[in-house]
Structure 1
């Protein structure tokens, strides 16, 4: 039986690991917070204290960390702690679920292949609730041999697994374009709600009307609910879009392609971050607008 390991039991990773376990797979986990990994294993599965031991035990390793730098650390270590790549068996598959520069993903595939390992470029989308229910989306690219090993696990974690290319890069490009839209939609939603508040419109009434009108977006409906509840608990933090829209702009800059809306949205998230809201939910970008009184939520 093929064994799967998952690294990173955060908002998305914990749900993905649970989906794998629910599908009957032998799930091995690692998280820098050992108590989180142990809590998962108590319900079924194995918690590893080191990345190296997880790598040695698994045929497929799924990485659900924040960015390229953390992925590098997971694979190759951080100078003081070994990563998982050196201990993985030849032919094992590394599935990378972070939002990264597509060119970095292409280079990673070549580096891992040089070590005798296989790679699937597999960014994810859908949020924590869909990850927990196995209903999220995966935007994947990889060689057929890598898919042959990893596909049962991809299908267990996601309702939609899009195969976008037979080598790394295409999955990350599509995810970056998704993040362009997500970031711009959140920024636009915040701007619209802020204007309504400035003009004295009842926030709950505005939300009700917009979510039943043509101006609605998934992001308006989801994120402005956080604003109405005055709940800025970071399901996805402001700094995630500082990073992701930065990658969007880097990709476009390389081919001299103009992205005026993305540039403006990026500046809005940068402003929110430097104003002290970096670790708050990305809906906190609304806090950059002056002269408005935000909803206080229910007492």
Structure 2
């Protein structure tokens, strides 16, 4: 394999793992983040140094792992925007959850500068990001897929090619996020409902993962509630954004999504209660508070 010069913009729980996986695969990887401590941490781990403006002309790919559409646009086309400095034929791999229409707009604007764009939302969590085992829901031109392939091979276990233009990847991510957000809220509802009947969170986590009512989110997030540990792996604040995107798309399609809307309200209640920076399993605290229940770890 010929090492490719790659930039990863956004070194949060997912982005840092992506950068580390690309580095472990033998690529030259530059990591960038608004938090200088994360940049220093990655550089100490073997990441290549250099300012983004200086390294941009040498990049084969830029993996953008920021929070939302606004941050994605700012990275690509804001002051000192990345795209204007990237070489022709290089590729932007955009991983944030965004509306499909936004992804199509970014693709067109990148193309105007001779830069390819892969609509590439990710799933799998921080653990799979760190082991190069993500699932990627991708769409873009064949040329974009070809340019992105070395990076994709380094960071993912499965890449679903969903279309030959941007948009379908983000549409599929919206479908996934509808399910994921609902499953987290439902896990919290079921666990706290069980508590009203004397079913402890510990017993819940022993039994339900072995039953038909389980889900990946239940098995992943339920232990956070059981252990009273809300260290954020994916925060409450993610869900008003992601479920908001789902409902905006649904509205534009004249599609009713009442279950997604109900889940969104629970995450909004959690964020409004000051829990926004906690792990998204903290939505269970909304149910517990309303029912007068004490969760594990409550004083």
Give the TM-score category using the shorter length. over 0.9
TM-superposed CA distance for 1:134, in Å, is 0.8
Structure 2 partner of 1:212: 210
Return the TM-score normalized by structure 1: 0.95
- 8 Å CA contact 1:134–1:157 kept in 2: the answer is yes
Structure 1 partner of 2:243: 245
User: Which one is further off, 202-211 or 239-248?
Assistant: 202-211
- 8 Å CA contact 1:56–1:84 kept in 2: the answer is no
Q: Establish whether residue 258 from structure 1 lines up as the match of residue 256 from structure 2.
A: yes
Distance 1:92 1:127 in 2: 27
Structure 2 partner of 1:194: 192
Q: Establish whether residue 9 from structure 1 lines up as the match of residue 7 from structure 2.
A: no
Structure 2 partner of 1:273: 271
- 8 Å CA contact 2:124–2:134 kept in 1: the answer is yes
Distance 2:43 2:280 in 1: 31
TM-superposed CA distance for 1:72, in Å, is 1.0
Give 1:35-184 correspondences, 5 Å limit. Answer: 35-49=37-51, 51-77=52-78, 81-184=79-182
Gaps of 5+ in 2: none
Distance 1:225 1:256 in 2: 37
TM-superposed CA distance for 1:195, in Å, is 0.6
Return the TM-score normalized by structure 2: 0.95
- 8 Å CA contact 1:30–1:54 kept in 2: the answer is no
TM-superposed CA distance for 1:202, in Å, is 2.2
**Alignment partner of 2:139: what SS?**
strand
**Alignment partner of 2:135: what SS?**
strand
- 8 Å CA contact 1:29–1:54 kept in 2: the answer is no
TM-superposed CA distance for 1:213, in Å, is 1.0
TM-superposed CA distance for 1:148, in Å, is 1.2
Residue deviations 1:97-148 (CA, integer Å, cap 9, x gap)? 0000111001110111111111000000000000001111011001011111
| CA RMSD, 1 decimal | 1.4
Distance 1:177 1:259 in 2: 11
How many residues are aligned here? 294
Structure 2 partner of 1:292: 293
